[in-house]
Amino acid sequence: MLRSRPPVAPPLVRLALAPLPLAPLQPLLALCLNAIVGRHPNLFDRLGAHAGKRIGLNPTDLPFSFVLVPRRARPAIRAVRRLPPDLDANISGPFAGLIGLIDGAYDGDALVFSRDLLVEGDMEAVLALRNAIDNAEIDFVGEAAASLGVLAGPAQVIVRALRRAHRSAPSSQRTTRRAWS
């Protein structure tokens, strides 16, 4: 069974998060990114010439966005109220959809086809980033939450609860493969 469309956070979430300052978020984001890159040191190797480009990640159901600079040495991410206009590319969609691209829950092409996701700007850079991340098999929720120390438990509970209803259990089928003559 295939995953359904990504859920959109209720407007109340956006309202509740809007007044919060972004400053405390920045070191946590850096912590998460460094932890993930530490676990997957080859993560951005597939980017080739696209390493270091500035990619905007715009969760349309949250009151802030992110700017990601993917590169092997000193990758960076920061939260912003509004994406700057000079980015190489922007990816917009529900937060759960963006997270689902990272941990392999959703197919990025299908989300673009269905209009759940909008990609603007340097399409090559976004494709390369998508392929690099998809190959890394990142357990985003687990790995990011683990990097948050004492906040790991609550962070995992919140994100997994949001997505639980949309997750389908993989079957454990094995197959008998055919031999060639």
Which helix (H) or strand (E) segment is 169 a member of? none
Task: Indicate whether 87 belongs to the interface with another protein (CB under 8 A).
Answer: no
Compose the 13-42 pattern: x for residues touching another protein by CB under 8 A, - for all others.
------------------------------
Angle at which helix 95-103 crosses helix 152-164, to 10 degrees, equals 100
C-alpha span between 48 and 90 (Å, rounded): 19
Residue 107 CB, shortest distance to another protein, in Å, is 4
Query: Among 59-67, 133-141, 148-156, 157-165, which window interacts with another protein (CB under 8 A)?
Result: 133-141
C-alpha span between 158 and 168 (Å, rounded): 18
Cα angle at 107 between 68 and 117, to 5 degrees? 60
C-alpha span between 62 and 5 (Å, rounded): 17
Nearer to another protein, 72 or 78 (CB): 72
Compose the 47-86 pattern: x for residues touching another protein by CB under 8 A, - for all others.
xx-x------------------------------------
For another protein, the binding residue among 10, 20, 38, 131 (CB under 8 A) is 131
